[in-house]
Structure 1
Amino acid sequence: MNWETLLNQELWIDLAVILAVTFVCYWVLRTVLNLIAHRLDKVATNAQGSHARILGFATEMLRRTSRFLLFAFSLLIGLKAAELPDRWAAMLSHGWFIALAMQIALWLDGGVRLWMESLTRDGKTRNPVTTTIIGIMLRIVIWTMMLLSILANLGVDITAMVASLGVGGIAIALAVQTLLSDVFASLSIGVDKPFEIGDFVVFGDVAGNIEHIGLKTTRIRALSGEQIVCSNTDMLRQFLHNYKRMDTRRIVFKFGVTYDTPPDKVRQIGGVVREIVEAQNQTRFDRAHFVAFDDFQLTFEVVYIMLTSDYNTYMDVQQEINLALLQRMADMEVDFAFPTQSIEFLGGRFPEVTVAGVASAQPANDNGPRLA
């Protein structure tokens, strides 16, 4: 042991200066970070919407600053206060970068974790699989970039490593391209949100509620009770009707009256229909018109808007409208049309018809009798 080195007064003075600067810097950095976090928290409390959310994320990220890395950063500042050999100065420059890179990576990783927690804060995440996949991918990218940047700063040639990662990724992608297609479709569903868990959807001949959006498949509980499993890729390839996002319903229905209805009563029917529709709750009348001379009937077309998307409410309202139409048409002595057919019998004699055991026949007249 070199006792002369240990008894060197300058060495102990340098160590004392380094420790003093280190602890002072550590205290200053901790105080500044706490003040900034406290200030951001106050601003976030008074802010609203996405601005408040971003400020809240920044506050939590600052509060999750690593104390060990903060002390290492302070120590590096303290070492600057002493004269060091060139070898130690080179190591110190690498230490600055490593500490800063790791702290930035920790902040970004904390931001990703906070984003994932914010989506599940109420216990119900809209697409948990997609959220987890995106979170894992972002964290892998953050820590991979941090590791590569540190290796590059230390003088390691990372070109071959990056090339190997690229070639390996291409080989894996070709081997599992079908699975990756569904995985990226799941990510697309999570980001674009064409449907979410609980939505009622119809596509093709399938109708039901979304139960689960997975990594490869989406599961739907059909109206008949069974569970239908669909590929995520197939779900995005088809036209899909999402009825849960429907705020209103446009209802169109038709009815017909007989041809012997007087014109003045036909003219009144539109106003009667308007009164009936406007008397219902959660409806907005659009129009009611006599639109066509169809087979067997004079056709009316009615359009109104349901101010709710609930199907059962719509059916209740439509039933009340139908019942009111029956009553009002009966009061007006107007008959609803139904299919009828006329048969014209020309020449000859009617066939014998037995009624109560008595046969009767009528000769045909010149005009040709008609049976209706």
Structure 2
Amino acid sequence: MKNWLNEQNLSFLLNRTLWIDTAIVIGGTLIIYWLLRSLIRFISNRSIKSGHHRSQLFYNNAIEILRSTSQLLLLVFSFLIAIKFITLPRDWSTAASHGWFITLLLQIALWVDCSIRLWLSNMRRDPTHLRNPVTTVILGIMVRVVVWAMLLLAILSNMGINITALVASLGVGGIAIALAIQTVLSDVFASLAIGFDKPFEHGDFIVFGDIAGSIEHIGLKTTRLRSLSGEQIVCSNTILLQQTIHNYKRMQERRIVFKFGISYETPAKKVRQVSQSLREIIEGIEKTRFDRGHFFAFEQNQLTFEVVYYVTVADYNQYMDVQQEINLQLMERLSALGVRYAFPTRRVEFTGGTLPQVNVAGLASNEVEDEEDEEESSSPSRGAF
């Protein structure tokens, strides 16, 4: 038996066809690998001079994807091409066919993965469309997971494995996991909604409910704001999107409405002059646009004016400077016209019967009036010296 095994090994080693086929495969693999690497290097080192930004970007991305070609898969690919030059047994040919499919699919998946990373990187660097980095990261992870999951299922299917039960198991498991972490997932999808819809971005000043602050960070689960009083406010993304949000960073101009009142003793002629003065004051101040200023209503203690104007900048401090200047000039104009501001007053009329006697400092009201009359008669006149 031992002698027979030795004879078989010797005949195998002395098989001339085997050594020739081995040399053809090794030599062919090395040559093809060198040719493919040289071709990739030649294409990658070429430069394109194009004045169009999009074509330049597309070419650069294509070159970067080509450079991401796996050297190991390239070597395997060269080997699979080289074995085509020799005659293989049927089982080996079947295995080589599976190898072709798996190698090509893996390389395509690597190219797709690289293109996804480049796409997301270009989105983050685009100065014209600022995007939430958290959203791009989540999107990249989700797309890449889908690509590699499809790759795995395709490889298993090619190898003859029934993936129907596997897909069903993954579906049931995914539903169970989603139910377990539905709160977290709702916040994650809310973060994606914020990234795509962009109701606010980093640095925006927003107000919702009784909360006001500037956006500091938009995360997977929460959004953080810096309030006007200095503390940090952390809010769930889902809850935040359920609110009515006022984004003051995107305000182009402010519409201002304010009211003031003057005394009922003001004659109609001067009331008209007040309306004209309002227009002159607001039109004379920079960064404002006058809309209207009217004698609005007869109210309990005053003649009420309503004024509407626009501040053509969104900055709150500049708006306050404008409003202060309007108030100061309005005070000066009313003083020059001899018009008084209205103050809260109350007038009580007593009808029917007689007023009750009121004691003041121990004296009856009629005695107080007599003393006042005596003081007025005994005092010298204003013109005397």
Shift of residue 240, structure 1, vs aligned partner: 1.5
Output aligned runs, 1:136-151, within 5 Å. Answer: 136-151=141-156
Query: Residue 121 and residue 25 in structure 1: after superposition, are their counterparts in 2 closer, same or farther (change >3 A)?
Result: closer
Residue in 1 aligned with 2:21? 11
SS at match of 1:239: coil
Max radius of gyration: which structure? Answer: 2
Moved more, 199-208 or 58-67: 58-67
- Partners in 1 of 2:40 and 2:88 — Cα distance? 24
Query: Residue 286 and residue 104 in structure 1: after superposition, are their counterparts in 2 closer, same or farther (change >3 A)?
Result: farther
Shift of residue 352, structure 1, vs aligned partner: 5.5
Shift of residue 127, structure 1, vs aligned partner: 3.8
Q: Which amino acid aligns with 2:39?
A: V
Residue in 1 aligned with 2:38? 27
> Which TM-score applies when normalising by structure 2?
0.79
Output aligned runs, 1:147-158, within 5 Å. Answer: 147-158=152-163
SS at match of 1:299: strand
Tell me, yes or no, if the aligned pair for 1:352 and 1:359 is still in contact at 8 Å. Answer: no
Unmatched segments (≥5 aa) in structure 1:
363-372
Shift of residue 226, structure 1, vs aligned partner: 3.0
- Partners in 1 of 2:108 and 2:34 — Cα distance? 22
Residue in 1 aligned with 2:266? 261
Moved more, 319-328 or 241-250: 241-250
Residue in 2 aligned with 1:359? 368
Moved more, 94-103 or 302-311: 94-103
Output aligned runs, 1:159-198, within 5 Å. Answer: 159-198=164-203
1:332 to 323, 337, 357: 337
SS at match of 1:360: helix
Shift of residue 308, structure 1, vs aligned partner: 1.6
Query: Residue 345 and residue 85 in structure 1: after superposition, are their counterparts in 2 closer, same or farther (change >3 A)?
Result: same
Tell me, yes or no, if the aligned pair for 1:61 and 1:111 is still in contact at 8 Å. Answer: yes
Residue in 2 aligned with 1:214? 219
Shift of residue 19, structure 1, vs aligned partner: 4.5
Tell me, yes or no, if the aligned pair for 1:17 and 1:82 is still in contact at 8 Å. Answer: no
Runs of 4+ in structure 1 deviating by more than 6 angstroms, as ranges, are none
Tell me, yes or no, if the aligned pair for 2:21 and 2:86 is still in contact at 8 Å. Answer: no
Q: Which amino acid aligns with 2:217?
A: H
Unmatched segments (≥5 aa) in structure 2:
1-9, 372-385
Shift of residue 85, structure 1, vs aligned partner: 3.7
Query: Residue 271 and residue 63 in structure 1: after superposition, are their counterparts in 2 closer, same or farther (change >3 A)?
Result: farther
Residue in 2 aligned with 1:110? 114
Q: What do the CA deviations read for 1:101-143 (whole angstroms, capped 9, x no partner)?
A: 2222212222333344446559xx8644443333222222221
Shift of residue 206, structure 1, vs aligned partner: 1.5
Tell me, yes or no, if the aligned pair for 2:30 and 2:78 is still in contact at 8 Å. Answer: no
1:307 to 308, 312, 316: 312
SS at match of 1:169: helix
- Partners in 2 of 1:349 and 1:333 — Cα distance? 37
Residue in 1 aligned with 2:324? 319
- Partners in 2 of 1:211 and 1:80 — Cα distance? 61
SS at match of 2:327: helix
Residue in 2 aligned with 1:370? none
Shift of residue 14, structure 1, vs aligned partner: 3.8
Tell me, yes or no, if the aligned pair for 2:217 and 2:224 is still in contact at 8 Å. Answer: yes
Tell me, yes or no, if the aligned pair for 1:209 and 1:221 is still in contact at 8 Å. Answer: yes
Q: How many residues align?
A: 352
Residue in 1 aligned with 2:66? 62
Percent identity reads: 54
Shift of residue 27, structure 1, vs aligned partner: 2.8
